[in-house]
A and B are shown apart, each in its own frame.
Chain A
Amino acid sequence: MSKFKKKKEGGLAPINTASLPDIVFMLLFFFMVATVMREDTLMIQNALPVANQIEKLDKKNPISYIYIGKPSANYKKFGTEARIQLNDKFADLGEVGTFINAERAALREELIPFLTVSLKVDKEANMGIVGDVKQELRKVNALKINYTTGSGDALTNK
């Protein structure tokens, strides 16, 4: 038994990872604050075009979302043409009016005139289907719409 223990040889000193949780927590909090839970499961491709003359959608007023785009990879059986998605389901053109009326029925009476319809349309979609949806919205008198876009230079949209 020697009084002086020999230092262990070989092997690097372990790296101190005590601050790793802190860093990950920081990221976690960032994501918790900056994002919101998904409302609808998207069944379509939904890459929005960009524009720079945009206004913020007023969160004080009720907003209904209408998604339009090609069915995404998992839903190829629904074809390759752009389709309408309302809530969690594909919908026909005729259902747009019903959808708006249902959204209205869920609102308080005084808020009904302020309902804004946010159109989230994939940039590869054609104007034909968008025009049809707009026509349907006119029929049920939902006239406030918002073409939801990202922000950026509109000339780079192609």
Chain B
Amino acid sequence: MAKRSAPEVNAGSMADIAFLLLIFFLVTTTIEKDSGINRKLPPIEESEEDVIIKQKNIFTVLLNKNDHLLVEDEVMELKNLRKAAVEFLDNGGDGSCTYCKGKKNPSSSDNPDKAIISLKNDRETSYSAYISVQNELVAAYNVLRNRRALEIGAQKGFPKMNFIDMQDNYKDVRWNGNKEKLKDVIDQIKTEIPQKLSEVQ
């Protein structure tokens, strides 16, 4: 008997079927954006107690309806905001802050714990401008925290790790280091340079 070869199956339409599925998935799904700037809103408090804050400890940032910036009563470009905020936070005016490297200008903030950044915007301010300003202010805090993390980390056994890396490692289950010690370092940095960003309604 002669051997007969198996008949070939026509797979020409397979591509069509796959395309159909592909297009279905393209249409019904989205690539999700799931990252952003985390903020905590202040709770509404019943008791109206006025807290007296020295004017020099407040860094006022105003954003008007044309998206122009007014920082400490001076017009400023967005790209200079980060540097100005770092200088303000890092000033160390009363000398109680041992890790500050600022100019110790007596008319600027006392120490990072007392320094408050106050952000005020108009109703007509565009959201994108607002996010840019928020981003720059958070960046200013991160600059200082990263610098501090490199200093403390070297002493505590986490060399060459900035604050962002520390937080990432702390959350990462696969990271095999001493998490409790790392948590202490993160908490220390957070208390030394707290994020005090207030928004005026």
> Is A54 located at the chain interface by the 8 A CB criterion?
yes
Tell me the A33-92 residues at the B interface (CB within 8 Å). Answer: 34-38, 48-57, 59
- Are B21 and A28 in contact (CB-based, < 8 A)? yes
Q: Which residues of A contact B12 (CB under 8 A)?
A: 17
Q: Which residue of A lies closest to B26 (CB)?
A: A31
Given A21-B11, A125-B126, A126-B126: A148 and B21 interface contact (C-beta under 8 Å): no
| Interface size counted on chain A using CB atoms at 8 A | 58
**Residue-wise interface mask of A (107-143) relative to B, using a CB-CB cutoff of 8 A (1 in contact, 0 not):** 0000000001010011111111011001101110111
- Are A34 and B31 in contact (CB-based, < 8 A)? yes
Q: Which residue of B lies closest to A128 (CB)?
A: B123
Given A17-B15, A37-B28, A55-B37: A128 and B132 interface contact (C-beta under 8 Å): no
Q: Which residues of B contact A147 (CB under 8 A)?
A: 36-37, 39, 131, 134
Give the docked Cα–Cα distance between A63 and B135 (Å).
22
| Interface size counted on chain B using CB atoms at 8 A | 50
Give the docked Cα–Cα distance between A35 and B33 (Å).
10
> Is B1 located at the chain interface by the 8 A CB criterion?
no
Which of B26, B44, B127, B128 touches A139 (beta carbons < 8 Å)?
B44
> Is B175 located at the chain interface by the 8 A CB criterion?
no
Q: Which residues of B contact A139 (CB under 8 A)?
A: 44
- Are A51 and B33 in contact (CB-based, < 8 A)? no
> Is B191 located at the chain interface by the 8 A CB criterion?
no
- Are B79 and A155 in contact (CB-based, < 8 A)? yes
Which of B30, B124, B131 touches A128 (beta carbons < 8 Å)?
B124
The smallest beta-carbon distance between B130 and chain A, in angstroms, is: 5
Q: Which residues of B contact A24 (CB under 8 A)?
A: 15, 18-19, 22
Q: Which residues of A contact B135 (CB under 8 A)?
A: 51-53, 154
> Is B97 located at the chain interface by the 8 A CB criterion?
no
- 8 more contacts with CB within 8 A, not counting A24-B15, A127-B124, are A35-B25, A48-B33, A53-B139, A54-B37, A118-B34, A147-B131, A149-B131, A157-B132
B-to-A contact residues, CB < 8 Å: 11-12, 14-15, 17-19, 21-22, 25-26, 28-44, 67, 78-79, 121-132, 134-136, 138-139, 142, 201
A-to-B contact residues, CB < 8 Å: 17-18, 20-21, 24-25, 27-28, 31-32, 34-38, 48-57, 59, 116, 118, 121-128, 130-131, 134-135, 137-139, 141-151, 154-155, 157-158
